[in-house]
A and B are shown apart, each in its own frame.
Chain A
Amino acid sequence: MSIETLGQIKAAVERRPRELAKARRDGAKVVGYFCCNIPEEILLALDLIPIRLGSGGDDHLVELGGRYISTQNCVFVRQSVGLFAEGKDPYVTNSDLVAVAGTCIQIYRLGEVVEHFFDVPVQVLGVPRNFVLPEGKEYFRRELENFTASLEEFAGRKLSVERLRESIALLDAIRGAVRRLNAIQARSDVISWRQVFEVTQAAFFLDRGKYLALLESLLDELESARLRGKQSVDGEHRPRIFVSGSIIPVGDTKLIDVVEEVGGRIVGDDLCTGARPFKGLAVKEPTVAGVADAYLSRVPCASLPNLSLDGDRRIENLLESIRDSGAQGVVYHSLRYCDPFTFKAPETKRVLGPDIPFVEIHTEYATSDVEGIRTRLEAFIEVLRGQRVSKEVANVR
């Protein structure tokens, strides 16, 4: 089944660089940002255009970036520096300001490096490591107030409660729509996870109002297709896989390709470029403090250390998402030198326990390990198939 709205979204993404260039000529300002802890609510309320920067899967850019940062930084960070070094990415070249959230401290370094070597104006938002403690929350409120004041100066306008209320409502609607989209994907065969993932990533670039309209159109189309019994995914006999771990940015399809090639069906994720940023974020009041509180209370990135497993929203979300998606096993993606996720791989396996099969794929963008990954994932898929057969036999008996 072809999904018409997906074509429209793809076309909109292709048009977007030209739109941005025109908007800038007309006086608009673009803020390219790294990390989903940069609150788009504030940017939109100041009439700034938010664009989430960064891409993956290109070894040439990784090598280029590595000349300025280090080969001991993760490939996402290296490639992102490479984007600035190369100077061809339309989102990088159309950014008037780069905002970085210090959630992942390698991203903070990325900001320092591009500011120094490529003369890019960078604005940093500090994010507390002690994010669950009252003093951490207070720090983040003040830090976001300071960040907002800098953006006001950059935008040449003051933040108004009314505009903030509007942007909160818009982004809340987008998050709700993306959550519904993920739920439809997990419960039916009308759209694949990969298609949803691509739609989700379109959110990084498109005009947010137009994006919401496209999402609503897509949801209507999928609902209609579901009622008519249409299928986009042949997923009945394919083991259901949940993808967790390090960032899989636009352009990085290596792991996803292999999972699908060896017969797995991805049905859910908790990636920062996937479903996670759209979950558990509710701004309770249209103030900067309200936005700050909401962002610190959301499902956190592994980059923010939590000293206790009890009440760890990241772990809770992982378990809930695996259950809701009906996944049979977890493919845990850890990028080399992505310490937050890599260090937590053994723990995640322990937390999931023996009933949820788990495989860690520790990799980079280079293709040299693809066959090794394929062998491991083939074996993993066989394990999942074997478990399903065992359960079916047990049920018959």
Chain B
Amino acid sequence: MSVETQTPVLFTYPERIKERLEATGDIIFKDGRRVTPSEVWRFMTEEAPARFPRAFDVGVSNTERVSEDVDFISGIKHSYITLTLRDRLDKAKSDGTPLVMIQGGQSMEPYFAAGALALRPAFVNWWARDLVDGQDVRQADFRSNGHLEQGRRAVSVDACHLVCSHQILQEGIVDVDLVAPYLCLRCSDTAYLTESHRGRARDIPRLMIDHPINSNADKEWSVDYVAAALRRLTAEISAITGRRVADDDLREEIVRHNKLRRLAREIAELWWAADVPPLNSADLGNIVGFGNEPWLDATAAISILEEAVQEVKDRIAKGVKGVGVAHDPARVFVCGSCVTANPFLVDRAGGAVVSHDDQWSETLVDVQVEGDPYVNLAKGILSYPYEQPSVERAEWTAEQVRKSRAEGLIFIYNWGCNYQSAVARLVADMVKEETGLPTVHLGSSELGRSEAVEQFQNRVEAFIEMLRLRKGFRHA
């Protein structure tokens, strides 16, 4: 008996958009390098599908894939940035640029100002995963899950997915020069995972930028404490590069990141106010996500964001709807751990993810330019709404839910995320009380992996279905 196997048909960009893409600007990187739209087209239509077929499998469970909204050119450029991650990291490594593994969500200015590249843990995972070309979704999943399970065996089964990146470094699958995360108030595992490198096979240099708990914005000693840690960080990177970090280097980076945040905010606010959703959930999340995650290069992210603002404005003016999203979707605000609801699934169910409190919180906070940049950065870090005591955070979340015209809130926490899960009910209950909207809190076990996600997806779909019914009743 023969068994027929079926290879999924991979997504391809239609030729009709090539001309539009080529009429747009270059992507300009911080080092002055420019990538022309023609190079983007060639990469996204020839090289990337061959090397990263996993990203072109548009199954609904595959969250790390390209968007099907091919007319949103900035979205294609965003995909270019994400799919060139490995190459850019390989190049940085060979150029001797210090690579620093950090923590999600927080301010990146000090790392970049010191001449390093700041990699969130997920970047380490993706870099390690994509070392092998030609993987489909299953193969990529299998490889990533292997790293995760190795980490859990080495440290603890109770660890969240962050253990994966630390294990990758321990095994030397990819290499960084420093592990220097913020111990921000999003995460209970980062500190102990950073500590877990001690006494192990690979002695990776490490330091922690502590984020003290509890109402810090007005405590000058908290500001001093964080500022001192930031100085220690830039000094540590300087020791690698041999180049002193001047205050003006930091200010320059602050200006750049303020611009990044402002552009991201503008797009989110345009989307929120629009009658017809101009982007699907994935494109909205990706583009606004640039505000806090510039994918190693804030200059490049800005060049894409500037075009994206115009594209979104044009779409709103013409009443163009993003591909895949409903005309009048049930709008969901997501909060919780460093994870979001699968945007493709939410769209398919008739919803839309309007924002995610994690990165959005940081995108809202601009850093003062004049004065001591370390103190200014510390003040900014300590004032992120997401990192405030939970009651204050919940009040802020309720305000964002209203601003974004969300119709429901999903609080999601990962396996092993003790810190976010602890306040899931508190935040969800408070938002419900303050807004009168439905809320739900959900545990996510395996973070966007394509296997064993059906229970989580089922709950998300049911919640959106409920929101849609509610919307229908209201309209009736």
Interface residues of A (CB under 8 A from B): 67-74, 77, 102, 105-106, 108-110, 112-113, 115-117, 124, 126, 128-130, 133, 135-136, 138-139, 142-143, 146, 305-309, 336-337, 339-340, 342-347, 350-351
Which A residues touch B62, using CB under 8 A? none
- Once the chains bind, are A117 and B208 in contact (CB under 8 Å)? no
| Least CB distance, A343 to chain B, in whole angstroms | 4
Contact of A109 among B156, B159, B224, B422 (CB under 8 A): B422
- Once the chains bind, are A113 and B193 in contact (CB under 8 Å)? no
| Least CB distance, B274 to chain A, in whole angstroms | 35
A339-B155 Cα distance, complex, nearest whole Å: 10
A350-B197 Cα distance, complex, nearest whole Å: 13
Check if B213 is an interface residue, CB within 8 A of chain A: yes
| Least CB distance, A358 to chain B, in whole angstroms | 15
Given contacts A73-B421, A346-B156, 14 further A-B contacts (CB under 8 A): A67-B425, A68-B425, A102-B213, A105-B213, A124-B215, A139-B224, A307-B195, A309-B198, A337-B158, A339-B418, A343-B189, A343-B192, A346-B155, A350-B199
- Once the chains bind, are A143 and B422 in contact (CB under 8 Å)? no
| Least CB distance, B212 to chain A, in whole angstroms | 5
Residue of A nearest to B390 (CB): A112
| Least CB distance, B120 to chain A, in whole angstroms | 19
Question: How many cross-chain pairs have Cβ atoms below 8 Å apart between A and B?
Answer: 154
Residue of A nearest to B227 (CB): A135
Check if B471 is an interface residue, CB within 8 A of chain A: no
| Least CB distance, A340 to chain B, in whole angstroms | 6
Check if B278 is an interface residue, CB within 8 A of chain A: no
Number of residues of chain B lying within 8 A (CB) of chain A:
50
Which B residues touch A138, using CB under 8 A? 221, 224-225
17 cross-chain CB contacts under 8 A: A72-B443, A109-B422, A112-B390, A112-B422, A126-B212, A126-B222, A128-B210, A130-B225, A135-B224, A139-B221, A305-B195, A337-B416, A337-B418, A339-B188, A339-B416, A343-B195, A347-B199
Which B residues touch A351, using CB under 8 A? 199
| Least CB distance, A295 to chain B, in whole angstroms | 15
- Once the chains bind, are A339 and B189 in contact (CB under 8 Å)? yes
Of the listed residues A106, A126, A143, the one surrounded by the most CB atoms of chain B closer than 10 A to its CB is A126
Contact of A129 among B154, B183, B413 (CB under 8 A): B183
- Once the chains bind, are B426 and A116 in contact (CB under 8 Å)? yes
Q: Chain B, 411-441, contact with A by CB distance < 8 Å: what is the 0/1 string? A: 0010111110111111000100000000000
A70-B421 Cα distance, complex, nearest whole Å: 6
Which A residues touch B183, using CB under 8 A? 129
A134-B198 Cα distance, complex, nearest whole Å: 21
Check if B194 is an interface residue, CB within 8 A of chain A: yes
- Once the chains bind, are A108 and B426 in contact (CB under 8 Å)? no
Which A residues touch B206, using CB under 8 A? 307
Q: Chain B, 148-176, contact with A by CB distance < 8 Å: what is the 0/1 string? A: 00000011101100000000000000000
Check if B400 is an interface residue, CB within 8 A of chain A: no
Which B residues touch A308, using CB under 8 A? 198
A168-B472 Cα distance, complex, nearest whole Å: 67
